[in-house]
Structure 1
Amino acid sequence: MIRHNLCHTLLAIAIAGVASSSLAASFDRIATFATADNLPIGGDMKHETSAEIITASGDGNTLIYSDSPRGGVGFIDIRDSYDPKAGGFIALNGEPTSVSAYNNLVVAGVNTSESYVAPSGYLAAIDLDSRQVMSRCDLGGQPDSVAISRDGQFVAVAVENERDEELNDGLLPQAPAGYLSILPIVNGQVQCDKLRRVDVSGLARIAPEDPEPEFVAFNDNNELALTLQENNHLVIVDAESGRIINHFSAGTVDLDGIDTEKDGALLFTGSQNGVLREPDAVKWLDNERFVIANEGDYRGGARGFTIFHKDGRVLFESGATFEHQVAMAGHYPDKRSGKKGAEPEGLEVARFNGETYIFLLSERGSVIGVYRDTGAAPQFVQLLPSGIAPESAVAIPARNLLVSANEKDLVEDGGVRAHVNLYRLDDEAPLYPQIVSSVDSEGRPLGWGALSGLTADPQKPALLYAVNDSFYNSQPRIFTIDASVQPARIISAINVTRDGKAAKALDLEGIASDGKGGFWLASEGRTDKEIPHAIYHVDANGEIDRTLPFPAELLNNETRFGAEGVALIGDELWIAIQREWKDDPKHSVKLVCYNLKQDKWGAVRYPIETPEQGWVGLSEISAYGDAVYIIERDNQIGENARIKRLYKVAKSELKPAPLGSKLPVVHKQQVRDFIPDLKADNGYVVDKIEGFTIDNRGIGYAVTDNDGVDDSSGETYFFSTGKM
């Protein structure tokens, strides 16, 4: 058992941060490909697609991925890596679970099981040139991972025969047991009749009669590392003979400084002792050492990665350090805190320009950690944005490329499609992340996400403040941002409190400095959820000391889409209402005014754009100079996004009329189209650009809301719009 205390964690973070900043080489995303682009022309474009496990052809020009929802294998032409093209699809009459390639040979494990108790499946051998299935090898069970040896002599298949998680609470054992299958390859042909089954039962302490092989990988000596995830066990096998060379428990780890509660708050104050690693992916670092991703899918999940010697020695344990990096980049998934946290699942290891890199995929955090292998403790390099739920990755060092595959397709919910992401190693500074946090006053990661409103410090240039929205309903916060550095850095946070306790029933969407150290906060109401529509004033410590509930004249016509921003102009608070309420003409919303001295409400009418689909609304209002600046956006994502814009309205037009009367209509002028900014990192266009402010030098800043990494890529874009 390894004790990984908080001091060691923070020291590792500090060392990693300093080290990574001095290194020139970094990866950047250069392109994305939506798996839906491989759907047939004229077909159902709403058919669910996926890219679960991905591999590359021998020449590095074609990507091949398993697409479980479509029941086959997809291809992507990446001869131009900056412009990937659809490369076709092969149906396999089953559920493909994994793919691997060697030169022009592609193998896919295909699950054809009728039930958990009657598992079946086969190995498909595909010719890449003809895109034809050359042979099908019966595996006698449900395959999971497949791998081809580096010399092209063997195929290994982890036959999992997975458990039924609904049966007896998913407890093991559940027959039939899994095993490892090894098939020789001769002259590019898989020899089905020479299949060797390796029995791995009786090895683990946990359910020895029911091994569940998860992932398999070869080293240069044709030795296999096999993970038995639910059994928390590791097996080393000689591929040629099928002999088990060694086997040992994956062991446990003690964790400090982690978030353990799914409670709408990011508090890295918890600990867990004796956590089973339960590895998913495994990759060799050399012929003696291998690395495992400790996802956990049964009773464990140590939230990090571990390096082993093949003799069973633990050479390195990451503890909570990876999770802390994820949290400081705003990618920590609070809804997984009680179980597996950032949930590292996939792995890739490759050598670029004489350096060995480890790529660790956080499925729930939707990010990839990049580490440099040093032979001892790996050196953290950077985090890469990955789209939603990265499941696997493949490196193509000859082309300086890394590719990741996203399993999740949100088409049924009107969300973004599954994507494949391409990255290139270069000597330029990384484009992502654009905003990170530091540690808090206790030395723990300052967790953040779902930033929804911005305001600038009246006196200090490039010093900004942001609020989070109701995703963190137990931890409403005001974050202080130093925008003078790249990436921008969240340097501190104060909790919004009522009577000294975290304020409840808030959905903070806007913030404005009061010029005296305090702030005005706009809370978007949801009467059906007992969240009132209101504006709040907080002092410098975040304590609410004044509440301005919306008047009856407004509430009589309310809908759920309320205040999305607030600006202070002299004695007047101006509030942007996101969408039309019941008394608004179509494509028209209110800018509501409250006069602080006169205790008087009023409004003007603001015309919004007409959407091609979905809706258009306001997301921010900010005052500077002789104008107010307003974000107007549609609710569309990816290729469907059309309207993500910044407009301005002259302050001279803000002449409020009494609520309930005929409201004057203001005129707007477009200042910026944000879509190019949202495409700059070569991912898909995110939905919610929600914060904008201008500092005392006239420099504009914008930020997106990452929805707390819940059915979201978790990517937060923070950028300057330059002099306004």
Structure 2
Amino acid sequence: MARPLLGGQDGGKDLTGGPAGPGPSPSCYAAGPSSRQTSLQENLVIPRLTCLTSAAALLAGAAVAQTSFDRVASFATPLNRAEGEDRAAESSAEIIAATDDGLTLVYTDSPLGALGRIDITDPAAPKPLGNVALEGEPTSVSVLGTTAFVALNTSESFTEPSGALLALDIASGEERGRCDLGGQPDSVALAPDGSFLAVAVENERDEEVNDGALPQMPAGHVAILTLAGGLPDCAGLVRAELTGLAEVAPEDPEPEFVDINASGEIAVTLQENNHVVLLSRDGQVIADFSAGAVDLEGVDLTEDGRLSFTESQPQRLREPDAVQWIDDDHLAMANEGDWNGGARGFTVVDREGRVVHESGASFERAVAALGHYPEGRSDSKGVEPEGLAFATFDGTPLLFLLAERASVVGVYDMTDPAAPVLLQLLPSGVSPEGAVAIPSRGLLATANEADLGGDGLARAHVMIYQRHEGAPAYPTLTSEGTAELLGWGALSGLAADPARAGTLHAVSDSAYGAEPRLFTIDTTQHPARITGAVTVTRDGAPAEKLDLEGIAADGQGGFWLVSEGHADEGVPQALLRVDAEGVIAEEIAFPEGLLAEGRFGSEGVAVVDGTVWVAMQRPAEGDPADRTKLVAYDPAAQSWGAVLYPLSAPAGEGWVGLGDMAAQGDWLYLVERDNQAGAAAATKLVTRVPVADLRPAPLGGELPVVPREVVRDLLPDLRATGGVVLEKVEGLAIQPDGTAWLVTDNDATDDSSGETMLWSIGALD
């Protein structure tokens, strides 16, 4: 599991109202297309934002009180570095476990070669307990009492794999035992009664050899170790051989994940072999079966800058990664895929391998309705369900399904294994790899492996969720409920509808450059709903070469739009006027003196007394370093002018620029932000400029500087979600009654968790 993310494997690099009526069950969701068969410490304490609209859309109707999980805190893995150590160095959180009392979390950190420890006595305020340095790469961990059993990869090559199982005292970090496993371990599981351990010794293949095809020797196996006095009996290790079972490369089984049921039976997935094996605790094969294939329908299989869930994929191999016993007779498999497969969902099978439930495309489609779909992975394995956790909370068996590429966790009620019910989708850090449920405390924790490192991007995180009565805080925006699945993401501009109370309009940026779209949002529902979308067209076809970053009503039933442009990619800056159906009526090129180099051009648009104002994100050549332009275009005279806007000084690394703007009464309101996320975020503001001072001067000469004042610091809002502070506040709209709304750009899940935050800050004075 602990392998480079960029290689498409398990491990890798980094990264933060009223209850609604019942929503559809997963079976309703699939009723259309279906399938067959500043300081890092800032991120520690984050109160819940109570003003966020609640999200009950994904909950099945029930007569009992609704319960939900909400994120209460995030812990950045660099916080576990000791004083004096380099906190900028790459770290990660991959596989995670908890002590029996539920007060301490431990996680594997492959880049650092360490076991991280977190005190969650107060789950809303996790505290670092430091790292335990290891001589190798930790790939998995299980806990019994206060002892951590860590699978350690010590291989020097793919052809000569090696590894060990360590028994570590969690409090002291002292090594209490070590067993040679005879190969490279991947997953470790503890029997529910604490009597023995099973380790999947994968001996993974080299993806650079023979295009990654099997076989590549040596073959993997499962190591089984009895626990005596809480420590593994190395001398009694049982080596369970798995060769000759799978239809795919039977001579080279690569066991991926293990789980043990209450009867002491071991389930192991052979992901690359598309096979599942059941073993007794003494290593005998009880059963084995192919993981099979799925006919997928209603999926997006083409990486083309569009979100179109209309394609089919027959007989897609499941190639499951994680496996979990639901009871002694049923298994759930996360069908991530690795080599020739990836079925984008999960499957429940009985102990003979008969399919009891197949989610098909329903999970991925639910993810897409929340704006988390990774379009850049369409031609590969989509959202890639990879990890699983299972536990019973207050009598309800719950399955937690982790989508590596969508950075969400699906929560399923497994009361009936043949009819799982999707209760909610939780926002996660980037690339959730492992999860642990702590029912005794009503907690769930996820380990999110991607450490995006510098340039203001977030670090790897452990995220903590608590179960409570009531509707969940996330999502704040969904397209669920539209007649056909409406995918969305990368919302980069926001505007109020002047004629319809509670209605907003949004645009998406160049992340979906092949199909730029205008979205209609109903904010009177909870969560807010995208109710429709139109494509921006030119000459009857989708208007390519656009990078939409701002939208404003034009007073004639249509909209003004701005395209930021990207000179290196041939995308020009432009001001456009479109009708209500998205048809371009006017396309106005920027004058030569306004063209920005590269990116960072036009970022927002507003109309003030008939003049169209455009916010330039950052200073252009010739501008003072701390000032950017607000550009005025007079449609009647077809003339241009500008003023200068004074920007805040960057508090640390990166830059400060403008994100969007909206006019209301005597003021022009703007979003001013830095390009930092997580603990590094320092400047996220709503400011305003008096309309009376918007007196543009001709371009090319000296420009007047407008006064500006801060209306609201948005950092408390962004921290209150319990997650990583999101970087890109890129949309601001003010409804006719003065209510202001903001939205973040999720970058279409590219180097991002995919999380979108749409929220109101109330009426502006």
| TM > 0.5 fold call | yes
CA distance in structure 1 between the aligned counterparts of 2:460 and 2:707, rounded to whole angstroms: 40
- The partner residue of 1:568 within 604, 607, 610 is 607
| Offset at residue 5 of structure 1 (A) | 12
Give the TM-score, by structure 1 length: 0.97
CA distance in structure 1 between the aligned counterparts of 2:345 and 2:597, rounded to whole angstroms: 47
Identical aligned residues as a percent: 53
Evaluate the alpha carbon distance shift between residue 462 and residue 321 of structure 1 in structure 2; reply closer, same or farther with a 3 A threshold.
same
Does the CA contact (< 8 Å) of 1:56 and 1:63 recur in 2? yes
Paired position in structure 1 for 2:398: 357
- The answer to whether 1:244 aligns with 2:251 is no
- The answer to whether 1:436 aligns with 2:478 is yes
| Deviation string, structure 1 residues 670-722 (Cα, Å, up to 9, x no partner) | 11111111112111111100000111121110000000001101110000111
- The answer to whether 1:607 aligns with 2:646 is yes
Paired position in structure 2 for 1:222: 264
Paired position in structure 2 for 1:582: 621
| Offset at residue 570 of structure 1 (A) | 2.5
What is the RMSD computed on CA atoms of the aligned residues?
1.6
CA distance in structure 2 between the aligned counterparts of 1:125 and 1:284, rounded to whole angstroms: 25
- State the secondary structure of the residue aligned to 1:326: helix
CA distance in structure 2 between the aligned counterparts of 1:178 and 1:313, rounded to whole angstroms: 25
- State the secondary structure of the residue aligned to 1:677: helix
Does the CA contact (< 8 Å) of 1:559 and 1:581 recur in 2? no
Paired position in structure 1 for 2:197: 155
**What is the letter of the counterpart of residue 147 of structure 2?**
L
CA distance in structure 2 between the aligned counterparts of 1:681 and 1:527, rounded to whole angstroms: 36
**What is the letter of the counterpart of residue 624 of structure 1?**
Q
- The answer to whether 1:302 aligns with 2:343 is yes
**What is the letter of the counterpart of residue 332 of structure 1?**
Y
Paired position in structure 2 for 1:632: 672
Paired position in structure 2 for 1:313: 354
CA distance in structure 2 between the aligned counterparts of 1:84 and 1:475, rounded to whole angstroms: 43
Does the CA contact (< 8 Å) of 2:59 and 2:422 recur in 1? no
- The partner residue of 1:642 within 666, 682, 700 is 682
CA distance in structure 2 between the aligned counterparts of 1:17 and 1:93, rounded to whole angstroms: 45
| Offset at residue 27 of structure 1 (A) | 0.1
CA distance in structure 1 between the aligned counterparts of 2:33 and 2:425, rounded to whole angstroms: 17
- State the secondary structure of the residue aligned to 2:242: coil
Paired position in structure 2 for 1:368: 409
Describe how 1:79-158 pairs up with structure 2 within 5 A: 79-158=121-200
| Offset at residue 6 of structure 1 (A) | 9.3
| Offset at residue 122 of structure 1 (A) | 0.6
| Offset at residue 498 of structure 1 (A) | 0.8
| Offset at residue 192 of structure 1 (A) | 0.6
- State the secondary structure of the residue aligned to 1:152: coil
Paired position in structure 1 for 2:50: none
**What is the letter of the counterpart of residue 608 of structure 1?**
L
Paired position in structure 1 for 2:760: 720
**What is the letter of the counterpart of residue 468 of structure 1?**
S
| Offset at residue 516 of structure 1 (A) | 2.1
- State the secondary structure of the residue aligned to 1:667: coil
Paired position in structure 2 for 1:692: 732
CA distance in structure 2 between the aligned counterparts of 1:126 and 1:553, rounded to whole angstroms: 65
| Deviation string, structure 1 residues 363-392 (Cα, Å, up to 9, x no partner) | 000000111113131111001011110001
CA distance in structure 2 between the aligned counterparts of 1:617 and 1:520, rounded to whole angstroms: 21
CA distance in structure 2 between the aligned counterparts of 1:325 and 1:579, rounded to whole angstroms: 37
Does the CA contact (< 8 Å) of 1:16 and 1:381 recur in 2? no
- The answer to whether 1:38 aligns with 2:80 is yes
Describe how 1:265-280 pairs up with structure 2 within 5 A: 265-280=306-321
Paired position in structure 2 for 1:681: 721
- The partner residue of 2:380 within 331, 339, 342 is 339
Describe how 1:186-225 pairs up with structure 2 within 5 A: 186-225=228-267
- State the secondary structure of the residue aligned to 2:215: coil
CA distance in structure 1 between the aligned counterparts of 2:548 and 2:430, rounded to whole angstroms: 25
Evaluate the alpha carbon distance shift between residue 594 and residue 27 of structure 1 in structure 2; reply closer, same or farther with a 3 A threshold.
same
CA distance in structure 2 between the aligned counterparts of 1:546 and 1:130, rounded to whole angstroms: 69
Paired position in structure 1 for 2:743: 703
Paired position in structure 1 for 2:586: 546
Does the CA contact (< 8 Å) of 1:10 and 1:444 recur in 2? no
| Offset at residue 8 of structure 1 (A) | 3.6
| Offset at residue 414 of structure 1 (A) | 4.4
Paired position in structure 2 for 1:591: 630
CA distance in structure 1 between the aligned counterparts of 2:580 and 2:476, rounded to whole angstroms: 27
- State the secondary structure of the residue aligned to 2:718: helix
CA distance in structure 1 between the aligned counterparts of 2:704 and 2:169, rounded to whole angstroms: 68
- State the secondary structure of the residue aligned to 2:697: coil
Does the CA contact (< 8 Å) of 1:588 and 1:605 recur in 2? yes
| Offset at residue 173 of structure 1 (A) | 0.7
| Offset at residue 97 of structure 1 (A) | 0.4
- State the secondary structure of the residue aligned to 1:621: strand
Does the CA contact (< 8 Å) of 1:619 and 1:630 recur in 2? yes
Does the CA contact (< 8 Å) of 1:6 and 1:256 recur in 2? no
- The partner residue of 2:96 within 43, 49, 54 is 54
- State the secondary structure of the residue aligned to 2:60: helix
CA distance in structure 1 between the aligned counterparts of 2:111 and 2:369, rounded to whole angstroms: 34
- State the secondary structure of the residue aligned to 1:19: coil
- State the secondary structure of the residue aligned to 1:678: helix
Describe how 1:432-581 pairs up with structure 2 within 5 A: 432-438=474-480, 440=482, 443-555=483-595, 558=597, 560-581=599-620
CA distance in structure 2 between the aligned counterparts of 1:643 and 1:268, rounded to whole angstroms: 38
- The partner residue of 2:458 within 410, 416, 425 is 416
- State the secondary structure of the residue aligned to 2:724: coil
Does the CA contact (< 8 Å) of 2:34 and 2:297 recur in 1? no
CA distance in structure 2 between the aligned counterparts of 1:558 and 1:714, rounded to whole angstroms: 28
- State the secondary structure of the residue aligned to 2:149: strand
Structure 1 unaligned regions, length at least 5? none
- State the secondary structure of the residue aligned to 1:708: helix
**What is the letter of the counterpart of residue 674 of structure 1?**
L
- The partner residue of 1:19 within 48, 54, 60 is 60
**What is the letter of the counterpart of residue 607 of structure 2?**
L
Structure 2 unaligned regions, length at least 5? 1-26, 36-55
**What is the letter of the counterpart of residue 256 of structure 1?**
E
Greater relative contact order, per chain length (Cα 8 Å cut-off, separation 6+):
2
Aligned length, in residue pairs: 715
**What is the letter of the counterpart of residue 352 of structure 1?**
F
| Deviation string, structure 1 residues 387-408 (Cα, Å, up to 9, x no partner) | 1100010000000000000111
- State the secondary structure of the residue aligned to 1:181: strand
| Offset at residue 445 of structure 1 (A) | 1.5
Paired position in structure 1 for 2:21: none
Does the CA contact (< 8 Å) of 2:107 and 2:117 recur in 1? yes
CA distance in structure 2 between the aligned counterparts of 1:554 and 1:404, rounded to whole angstroms: 46
Give the TM-score, by structure 2 length: 0.92
| Deviation string, structure 1 residues 288-330 (Cα, Å, up to 9, x no partner) | 1110100001100000000011121111000100001110000
Paired position in structure 2 for 1:178: 220
- The answer to whether 1:255 aligns with 2:296 is yes
- State the secondary structure of the residue aligned to 2:529: strand
Evaluate the alpha carbon distance shift between residue 345 and residue 9 of structure 1 in structure 2; reply closer, same or farther with a 3 A threshold.
farther
Does the CA contact (< 8 Å) of 1:5 and 1:256 recur in 2? no
| Deviation string, structure 1 residues 639-670 (Cα, Å, up to 9, x no partner) | 11110000011111111111112111111111
Does the CA contact (< 8 Å) of 2:537 and 2:584 recur in 1? yes
Does the CA contact (< 8 Å) of 1:268 and 1:444 recur in 2? no
Q: Which moved more, 1:124-133 or 1:27-36?
A: 124-133
Paired position in structure 1 for 2:23: none
CA distance in structure 1 between the aligned counterparts of 2:502 and 2:537, rounded to whole angstroms: 26
CA distance in structure 1 between the aligned counterparts of 2:73 and 2:196, rounded to whole angstroms: 33
